[in-house]
Structure 1
Amino acid sequence: MYVDVMTTPQPLRSTGDLARRTQEAGFDGMLFTETGRTAYLNVAAAALAAPGLQLSTGVAVAFPRSPFVTAASAWELQEACGGNFRLGLGTQVRTHVVRRYGVEFEHPGPRLRDYVLAVKACFGAFRTGTLDHHGDFYNLDFITPQWSAGPIDAPDPMVDVAAVNPWMLRMAGEVADGVHVHPLGEPGYIARHVIPKVAEGAQKSGRSPSEIALIVPVMTVVGDTDEERHRERELVRASMSFYGSTPNYAFIWDEAGFEGTTARIRDKQKAGDIKGMAAQITDEHIAVFATESTWDGLADALSARYGGTATRIVLYNALADPERFERYGIVAQRLSNAQQA
């Protein structure tokens, strides 16, 4: 089980320093989300500053970029990372894709499936000079040496997708190399949905489920005093209320025994009551959806919850402050050393 740091993209001049500190602290890698800044440029800056660090986009928005453009960017990053780059892709939600990016969002699941296959076809074209992908949404069949990135001395990048509902999880198991589990993906949800649905997709394409990486974001409440843990608990409560406001994720709360959580959060959201949104997340929610521990016990607690299931865990709040960052790094080293033992 590898341990990564989750971060939003930084100003490029500061990304290199953060990557070096991440590597020195003992983490296996960094996962860059995509918000107002692009994940791809941050990966490039991190790769040049900290050779050997495993880097991924988690996740980059697919549809606003053509599959060829995405494939070319991933190809260059894989080369820069020495084979340590993973391309994480997601659909985002309709409002962002249509109203912010200005592109189509119809049939997002099948479109993303075709997109992944098109990206992989482009990887093949960079090596062979032949591009021949014909899908329901993308048709690519023209490439010349001048417009090809050409072969690289590294394997093709792994392509991972963000998936929540059963169809997307099966699709990921069929055509992708990994799944970005949702931040609300507690162990029960992973056991009920992620593992069996990914296995169904893998079987469809003649692969073993073990070939598909499960990349799991982890929210933690960690501290050696009640005060520390209270402060962390409130930060986690706010994060969970943000993610839990999306209607498509309501079933995750419901199945865990917290029926109606999304509806209650959305009522507060519509009223502009941010504190009220967070208040809908009880300590009982946090006990199920987050990992709470002392510092000495955190590695064992994470191993108990995700060992044997997650390929990579991504620490959601490791960058809270420099002192805690170093302590999270020690936890990451313990988990990595246990894996190698």
Structure 2
Amino acid sequence: MTQTGTTQTGTTHTGEPGRGRLAIDSGVASRLTGVPESARTVEDQGFDGCWAGETNHDPFLALTLAAEHTSRIELGTNIAVAFARNPMSVASLAWDLQDLSHGRFNLGLGTQIKPHIEKRFGMPWSEPAERMREFVDALQAIWSAWQDGTRLRFEGRFYTHKIMSPMFTPEPNPYPAPKVFLAAVGERVTEMCGEVADGLLTHPFTTRRFLDEVTSPMVQRGLDRSGRARAGFQLTSPVFVVTGETEQGFVEAAAATRRQIAFYGSTPAYRKVLELHGWGDLQTELHDLSLRGEWETMGELITDEILATFAVVAPVDEVADGLLDRCAGVIDRAVPALPTNLSAEAKSRIVADLRST
């Protein structure tokens, strides 16, 4: 399951600011051999859920193992690449995982970028917002056919599903259809997410101000068009965390997070986040350095102010308060990227602090 740079992630429920409860989500080991123990550990530490990403391993396989070896935590893909597959194959995977996990599975999907879809997966790419909308609509039609026995007659611009004979129809699921979360950065996909999805998966390279002033209004426009309330929608966001049990550990965590922020900041697609804060020129400088492979130098350009804008920077006993401040009123599920050198005891302490608030 997922790791972010040199950090790992984790989840727990606390008093959620404004709309119920805040979930603090986690990732576990990426190699399949480590998933059972890692998933059990996440659950034992009090976290509420974990996500598996599609980087160098298949997330559905990891979550199958996690479902077998846990009983309480929610499980989700963050993300599975939708356009590398088709709605029927994804519907089947999600359906079986929802059954295996006893209703704990969330399906998180992302578009990926055109070169990867066409040159890595050998699949077609076009109109990502429209294609993803149709992908979600097709999923719902397929699940409805399986659950309610309705005739499958889905025919869109990109996907067609009109045959569902009894031999290929799974048994009705005793649990509701999986919730569908979509990863989004651009305006069209983010608004579409508000229209058709159960939740949004934001990119790690974001700030509270960007969520307040850019992301949330886009989601709300989509919700308004679909006539849905914000209370029924979940915004999930990774949060960088800089902390440490020793001064050296703190310094190492800060350096690793600076490098991660610099790496994301070098990408032209994320320039608008920096521009919102008046740091647009930094993106150009970071991009030029990345082309020369000067990764260490890039990290040195991330000042303390920039670090504190993108990350919760706090001693271990103040991390919970920092996370709650960062999430209040906008983030429903947080994925804190805790330093990998943080002890299990320190992670459990942060979880306990979150639960006590």
Normalising by the residue count of structure 2, what TM-score does the alignment of the two structures yield? 0.90
Verify: 1:42 aligned to 2:62, yes or no: yes
Residue pair 1:54, 1:85 contacting (<8 A) in 2 also: yes
> Which region of structure 1 is more displaced relative to structure 2, 103-112 or 48-57?
103-112
Aligned pairs (5 A) from 1:1-341: 1-7=22-28, 10-129=30-149, 130-317=151-338, 320-321=340-341, 323-338=342-357
By how many angstroms is 1:181 displaced? 1.0
Aligned identity (percent) is 32
Give the counterpart letter for 1:243 in structure 2: Y
In structure 2, the residue corresponding to 1:260 is in which secondary structure? helix
Whole-angstrom CA distance in 2 between matches of 1:225 and 1:266: 33
Gaps of 5+ in 2: 1-21
Tell me the distance in 1 between the aligned counterparts of 2:174 and 2:261.
42
**Distance of aligned partners of 1:275 and 1:93 in 2 relative to their CA distance in 1, 3 Å threshold:** same
1:57 positional shift: 0.5
> Which shows bigger deviation, 262-271 or 125-134?
125-134
Cα separation, partners in 2 of 1:43 and 1:316, compared to 1, 3 Å: same
8 Å Cα contact 1:55-1:84 kept in structure 2: yes
Cα distance in structure 2, aligned partners of 1:174 and 1:296 = 39
Q: Distance in 2 between matches of 1:58 and 1:272?
A: 28
In structure 1, what is the Cα distance between the partners aligned to 2:333 and 2:33? Answer: 27
Q: Distance in 2 between matches of 1:325 and 1:54?
A: 20
Structure 2 distance, partners of 1:113, 1:189, is 24
The unaligned stretches of length 5 or more in structure 1 are: none
**Structure 2 contact 242–338 (Cα < 8 Å) conserved:** no
Aligned residues: 335
| 1:178–1:84 CA distance, 2 compared to 1 (3 A) | same
- Partner secondary structure for residue 201 of structure 1: helix
Any conservation in 2 of the 1:27–1:333 contact (CA below 8 Å)? no
One-letter amino acid matched to 1:37 = H
TM-score in terms of structure 1 length? 0.94
- Contact 2:190–2:219, Cα closer than 8 Å, also in 1: yes
Of stretches 243-252 and 324-333 in structure 1, the one that deviates more from structure 2 is 324-333
Alignment check: 8 A CA contact 1:52 1:82 kept: no
Shifted more, 158-167 versus 323-332: the winner is 323-332
Q: Which runs of 4+ in 1 moved over 6 A?
A: none
Contact 1:264 1:280 (C-alpha < 8 Å) held by counterparts: no
Calculate the aligned-residue CA RMSD, in Å: 1.6
Q: Equivalents in 2 of 1:154, 1:334: separation in Å?
A: 32
Distance 1:333 1:149, change over 3 A: farther
User: Given residue 330 of structure 1, which amino acid in structure 2 is its aligned partner?
Assistant: R
